[in-house]
């Protein structure tokens, strides 16, 4: 195979790989949306059921004690997978950027059409980073689900306090709920930051 044939074969292979990476990146976004919807539907169904049971204090507490921990566990698993899909998407975009860098070597016109500035992250700065890294981390799909899940954890802690605490100490439920929610949210942000930094250091 001569040099021109090898170059044409390489361009064809890279074009195919570019398409595969773009398809895989789209799949991660679709999965993130599906998982988020599943969690929100489970949570909303739980809250509706608790609303119907609110007329009976015993059934309300029993149902909440059984279901809320399950919903929180589902939220944790969902959040962990959402972080995974975000990192997978970043990995695919990194692969696309590598292929685009080769496209720029095809000639002067290609260098203009495939310039880094006209690309997406990691060649160009992501729009989500415009207001800083902190707000970018808070705007991920995983962060939004984690915040909702943290409120679920706080609500469960308040409910548990109302059940086991003496009447004169039930006021502790509110500050305890706030602390549990904040600690849960903080633990998520630490986890998300650790995972993203591990990906950046590996690349």
Secondary structure letter of residue 196 according to DSSP = H
d(CA 88, CA 7) in angstroms, rounded, equals: 29
What is the tens place of the pLDDT at every residue in 37-91? 999 999 999 999 988 888 888 888 888 888 999 999 999 999 999 999 999 999 9
* Nearby residues of 120 by Cβ (< 8 Å), 6 or more positions away: 93, 96, 97, 126
Cβ proximity of 44 and 152 under 8 Å: no
Secondary structure letter of residue 123 according to DSSP = T
Question: How far is residue 188 from each of residues 153, 172, 184, 191, 202, measured CA to CA in Å?
Answer: 13, 24, 6, 5, 21
Q: What confidence tier does 2 reach under pLDDT thresholds 50, 70, 90?
A: low
Can you say how many angstroms the Cα of residue 5 is from the centroid of all Cα atoms in its chain? 43
Q: What is the pTM of this model?
A: 0.85
H-state helical runs in the chain: 3-53, 57-103, 108-113, 133-138, 141-164, 173-202
Q: What confidence tier does 144 reach under pLDDT thresholds 50, 70, 90?
A: very high
- pLDDT at 129 (0 to 100): 66
Mean pLDDT of the chain: 87
């Amino acid at each position: 195979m001569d040099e021109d044939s090898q170059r044409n074969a390489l361009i064809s292979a890279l074009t195919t790989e570019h398409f595969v990476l773009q398809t895989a990146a789209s799949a991660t976004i679709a999965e993130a949306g599906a998982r988020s919807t599943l969690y929100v539907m489970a949570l909303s169904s739980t809250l509706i059921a608790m609303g119907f049971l609110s007329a009976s204090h015993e059934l309300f507490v029993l149902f909440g004690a059984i279901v809320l921990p399950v919903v929180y566990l589902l939220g944790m698993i969902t959040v962990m997978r959402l972080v995974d899909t975000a990192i997978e998407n970043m990995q695919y975009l990194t692969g696309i950027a590598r292929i685009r860098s080769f496209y720029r070597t095809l000639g002067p016109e290609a260098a203009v059409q495939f310039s880094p500035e006209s690309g997406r992250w990691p060649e160009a700065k992501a729009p989500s980073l415009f207001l800083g890294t902190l707000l970018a981390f808070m705007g991920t799909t995983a962060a939004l689900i984690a915040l909702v899940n943290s409120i679920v954890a706080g609500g469960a802690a308040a409910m548990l306090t109302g059940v086991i605490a003496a009447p004169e100490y039930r006021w502790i439920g509110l500050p305890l709920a706030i602390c549990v929610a904040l600690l849960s949210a903080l633990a998520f942000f630490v986890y998300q930051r650790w995972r993203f930094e591990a990906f950046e250091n590996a690349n």
